[in-house]
Amino acid sequence: MNMVLEGANEFFGYISKFLMGIGAISLVVAGVSILNVMLMSTMERTKEIRIMKAIDTSKKEIMTIFLLETAILRVFGSLVGGILSFAGGFIINSTILKDISYLFAPSSLLYIILGIGFGIFTGLLGGLYPAWIGVKTKAT
């Protein structure tokens, strides 16, 4: 019986690592999507940026505007993703395993917090280039 239990634990360990890999890839894809959205937003707002530069808005303020917009999008998206992953884990654990104690373990909650933090980090990293492009827009 111990061998069966060890085999099952090893199997679930592999599944957990596989799903964490898929989650990491999803976070990178989401970061690239945020980069694309912010880059398109920057390109569409060149007139607005030019007006801000014409009234002597500093480069730092323009960069702050774009980074705050990125941060708001990413924090909201990461929190929604964290809540949905927790809810999905709760449903799966309660349905299949009939035990939700694993979900409230400190390691499980730490993974969710790390996922949210990584999502925010990749979003801000993806927003740096469009913010830099916005700063480099000419005021003519």
Our CA dihedral for 79, 127, 69, 66, rounded to 10 degrees, sits at: 170
In a domain, 60, yes or no: yes
Residue 54 falls inside a structural domain: yes
Q: Is 59 a domain residue?
A: yes
Question: Range of 98's domain?
Answer: 26-136
What is the number of domains present in the chain?
1
* 9 occurs within a structural domain: no
Express each pLDDT in 64-114 by its tens digit: 888 888 888 888 888 898 888 888 888 887 888 777 777 777 877 888 888
Q: 16 or 123: whose pLDDT is higher?
A: 16
* Among 129, 126, 133, 114, CA closest to 71: 126
Identify the CA nearest to 122 among candidates 20, 41, 24: 24
The pLDDT of residue 139: 65
In a domain? residue 2: no
Whether residue 20 lies inside any domain: the answer is no
